[in-house]
Structure 1
Amino acid sequence: MKKLNYLILLFAVVVIAACSGEKAEKTTDYPLFWTWLDYRAGINFDSVCNIMSETGIDGVMLNAPTPDDYREAIPIAQKYGIEVYAWLWTMNLEHDRETVLKEHPEWFSVNRKGESLADSIAYVGYYKFMCPALPEVREYIRKKIVAYCEVEGLNGIAIDYHRFVDVVLPTSLWAKYGIVQDVEYPEFDYGYHPEMIRLFKEKFGYDPREQEDPSADVKWRQFRCDQITEVANMIAETVHSYNKVMAASPFPTPAMSRRMVRQDWGKWNLDIVFPMVYRNFYTGDVSFVSDCTNENVRDKNPNTTLYCGLMASDGPVLFDCMDAALNNGARGIAIFTVQSLRTPELRQQFKAYTDSVRALRASPDYTPATTPRDQVINDPFQKEGIMKAVKLHIQANISMANASVLPELQDIDPQMLKSMMQRTVSNTPEELIGYLNASTRWRKDLAPAIDAIVQQFETDTKEGGIKLGEFKKVNQRDVTTYYQVSEENSQVVFDVAFYMYGGILSGWSVKPEEESYNQYISGLK
């Protein structure tokens, strides 16, 4: 049964730690396996709790509209031995969004172009982040936290969206919004509310907007992070005053968070942290999980218990990711979300995994790891999984070109198909084919074209696939390194970029160079 590797490895770690006399990190008896979950009126929460229990999940971060919803949910969860934390959005409004927008438009965050979220949109309409420098905003958040802390039986508070707007999105989302964020662009760079500027000038004596490139001003970046930290620690003080546990769901590592969303969570007074290490948003490779967990062991608050937040998925990769987290210092796992474990077989497999971890933790000889065991490698060319994925996408683009002359594709917009290919971070042929086939769920008219593309991809792969030349570095811009490589059979040139936000390989992209790609397609006709 998948996965006993973790159990065997950690028993070995126990012996090594005992022999070396390492001092174990102190941990509290929190749940080991968690999920994030939305709670709405009419939900059969008893049934959901039963599924959680049968899957081996003993903690839930529950997002409910009102404190009274928790008063209804908690007794049901307690029946199954499940701890309940209130999963609350803080700087970004959720359930009370429209009311605050109408009554306090002056509370909202402003970008480098001077645009306020009160009357503009960043990415999506529900991004309505407030300015953390305003005393009124802080008091509004404090009162909200108090209202939930007063719920009897609630184990803790888990804050989310406690940050600014994404100045840089995870790379897999760029195609979705039709953007490339290889540097920090003004329209996505938030934190320029007049009160924020005033406080910064008072402390440092200048206006950050006067800099040639405000994004390069480390003082200005850290100042915004510190404003978010002040609010986080105000929340923590409030939560602890009610003898409840303080938790948060931040971006993958403190260093990545500082650059991507101005969130320096290693300085927050958290009891538990659930960094959202969603590998499919970034490199797609399991190594992203081990890299981030290594960094988090080092950079988290020493008094914080580290977990790892993962995106639930079918297949063995979920278990590989859990191994990568637990083998590198995470105490437990949170998945988004238990409802994604759709089949009874997958839930049984997950339960077997959780049972093996609990058996280990119950051992009298168990000693938690104090240091990570894998070294972070940032050179993409040394990461076998990443390079296989890059080559996979080059092959997919060549196969897309080969399929473009087939009759099934003649009435399909080629730009739409290319865009669809760019929107996936697929690291194996199975993932790529699964993504293409899944697209027909909402576009049934594409089924013949998708079938033709998949068949062409499988044929090209069997016939020897691609032949790549040397990767040549052509540019370096901020955290982005650009390469070009030629596919020698087709003579198509590919632009390949690697992104290193927070000092970790956090994304990559593959794109055919237009002229050579179109020339290759023309030669096929």
Structure 2
Amino acid sequence: MKRRKFIEVLGITTVALSSGFTGISEKKKQYKNWAWLRGGAKSSDQELRDFLLKMKDNHIHGILPSGGNSYYERLGKLCKEVGLEFHAWRWTMNRGGHMKDHPEWYAVSRNGDSVVDKPPYVGYYRWLCPSRPEVKQLLIEDYTTLCKIDGLTGVHLDYVRYCDVILPIALQPKYNLVQDHEMPEFDFCYCEVCRSKFKEEHGTDPLEMEDPTKSKVWRQWRLDQLVEVVNAVADEVHKTGKEISAAVFPTPTIARDLVRQDWERFNLDAFMPMIYFKDYNGDLEWVANVVKEDAKILKKKKAKLYAGLHLGHVRQFGIPKVVETCIENGAQGVTFFMGNSLNDEDWGTFSSVMNELK
């Protein structure tokens, strides 16, 4: 049975993985599903075990839960027991827990405002500055400590970027903004360390430039600072024998332009680009082009590509069409946001699809 006819017969209403072919009779590939998860720390071990078994029985291969180290220790044992991969999901550059003791570690806008005193967009935007050695060491110690947890197979980086200098086009009206240029209140980082280091290397204080947003050298320097931090963390994580993955913006070009995230140069094992097409007023053609670009890049890096799909967005076009588009264009799997949001009907259909594709 041809795949499109097969999908129509099933009437899929959930996220599913295609097997990357043009007909069921062709050679099948093995795909891997992941799920970002929130909550669960207050659940009993038996409740967590039952949930993990349900996910595994419905063809989920790995989880990306948020939480504290004690919760991760519980999950590590349970994932090891049931046979699920487990990458600890933790925010990287956006973390406000050190503002009281080390306010100097935080990013400063072109206006001279620290995120400690004036967080941009929303109150939880508290961005660390990647040019500071103390920040790099903090992150290395945090992620390598996680790697000691029994049953944990890797760590997962999120908010591994600068603040949004430009929001995705569909999100700008939410903040009453028209961002047709880089506004100073959203342009980071201009702290004393960034400015002095850049001046030492290039002879100019960014704030003394006529228009810092036009300087390719200043832009590249900031990209480099973050790449250096990420790859330093990755090196230390790999030394522990664990994997490292990250949620990143849809393509390297979008990531560099909107959040100064040059993820094409991150030395990671797996990338989960957030293909949140509604934020970009995108359609299925947009999804196809994004995944195709990412697949080409990551094939060269020999890293895995798991397309990050926001369940609320995916339902706009129908889950089968979106997932089919991702798989056809090179994704090696799908990561669900949020995995907790899949209902029983979703799980049943997803399981049926995967059973047919095996």
Q: What range describes the TM-score normalised by the shorter chain of this pair?
A: 0.7 to 0.9
Q: Is the 8 A contact 2:38 2:340 kept in 1?
A: no
Mapping 1:112-261, distance limit 5 Å: 112-261=110-259
Report the TM-score when normalising by structure 1.
Answer: 0.61
Q: State the distance in 1 between where 2:199 and 2:58 align.
A: 53
Partner residue in 1 for 2:350 = 350
- Which of 49, 52, 60 is the aligned partner of 1:49? 52
Q: State the distance in 2 between where 1:241 and 1:14 align.
A: 39
Mapping 1:315-464, distance limit 5 Å: 317-342=318-343, 344-357=344-357, 359=358
5+ residue gaps, structure 2:
1-9
The aligned amino acid for 2:38 is: D
SS at match of 1:60: strand
Partner residue in 2 for 1:483 = none
Report the TM-score when normalising by structure 2.
Answer: 0.88
5+ residue gaps, structure 1:
16-26, 360-525
List per-residue Cα deviations over 1:346-374 (Å, max 9, x = no partner).
Answer: 221222333345x2xxxxxxxxxxxxxxx
Partner residue in 1 for 2:38 = 38
Q: Is the 8 A contact 1:61 1:86 kept in 2?
A: yes
Task: Please state how far the C-alpha of 1:224 moved relative to its aligned partner.
Answer: 0.8
SS at match of 1:293: helix
Q: State the distance in 1 between where 2:102 and 2:239 align.
A: 29
CA RMSD, aligned part only?
2.4
- Identity over aligned residues, as a percent? 35
Task: Please state how far the C-alpha of 1:122 moved relative to its aligned partner.
Answer: 0.8
The aligned amino acid for 1:303 is: K
Task: Please state how far the C-alpha of 1:54 moved relative to its aligned partner.
Answer: 4.0
Partner residue in 2 for 1:9 = 21
Q: State the distance in 1 between where 2:212 and 2:37 align.
A: 38
Q: Is the 8 A contact 1:91 1:164 kept in 2?
A: yes
Q: State the distance in 2 between where 1:69 and 1:7 align.
A: 34
Q: Is the 8 A contact 2:88 2:156 kept in 1?
A: yes
Q: State the distance in 1 between where 2:244 and 2:20 align.
A: 32
Task: Please state how far the C-alpha of 1:283 moved relative to its aligned partner.
Answer: 1.6
List per-residue Cα deviations over 1:257-284 (Å, max 9, x = no partner).
Answer: 0011110001011111111111122124
Q: State the distance in 1 between where 2:152 and 2:325 align.
A: 31
Q: Is the 8 A contact 2:291 2:307 kept in 1?
A: yes
The aligned amino acid for 1:42 is: K
Q: State the distance in 2 between where 1:339 and 1:137 align.
A: 32
CA change 1:353–1:288 in 2 (3 A) is farther
Partner residue in 1 for 2:82 = 80
Q: Which gives a bigger RCO, structure 1 or 2 (Cα 8 Å, sep 6+)? A: 2
CA change 1:241–1:8 in 2 (3 A) is closer
Mapping 1:248-327, distance limit 5 Å: 248-300=246-298, 302-313=301-312, 314=315, 317-327=318-328
List per-residue Cα deviations over 1:81-134 (Å, max 9, x = no partner).
Answer: 2211111111111xxx34x11000000001111110111121111111100010
Q: State the distance in 1 between where 2:25 and 2:162 align.
A: 39
CA change 1:38–1:264 in 2 (3 A) is same
Q: State the distance in 2 between where 1:292 and 1:78 align.
A: 34
Task: Please state how far the C-alpha of 1:242 moved relative to its aligned partner.
Answer: 0.5
Task: Please state how far the C-alpha of 1:172 moved relative to its aligned partner.
Answer: 2.2
The aligned amino acid for 2:151 is: G
Bigger Rg, structure 1 or 2: 1
List per-residue Cα deviations over 1:382-417 (Å, max 9, x = no partner).
Answer: xxxxxxxxxxxxxxxxxxxxxxxxxxxxxxxxxxxx
SS at match of 1:329: coil
The aligned amino acid for 2:331 is: A
CA change 1:170–1:8 in 2 (3 A) is closer
The aligned amino acid for 2:206 is: P
The aligned amino acid for 2:303 is: T
Q: State the distance in 2 between where 1:323 and 1:268 align.
A: 27
Q: State the distance in 1 between where 2:262 and 2:84 align.
A: 30
CA change 1:211–1:91 in 2 (3 A) is same
Q: State the distance in 2 between where 1:218 and 1:356 align.
A: 51
The aligned amino acid for 1:319 is: P
Q: State the distance in 1 between where 2:40 and 2:222 align.
A: 34
Q: State the distance in 1 between where 2:51 and 2:117 align.
A: 38
Partner residue in 1 for 2:5 = none
Q: Is the 8 A contact 1:229 1:268 kept in 2?
A: yes
Q: State the distance in 2 between where 1:40 and 1:299 align.
A: 35
Q: Is the 8 A contact 2:309 2:334 kept in 1?
A: yes
CA change 1:315–1:182 in 2 (3 A) is closer
Q: State the distance in 2 between where 1:224 and 1:92 align.
A: 16
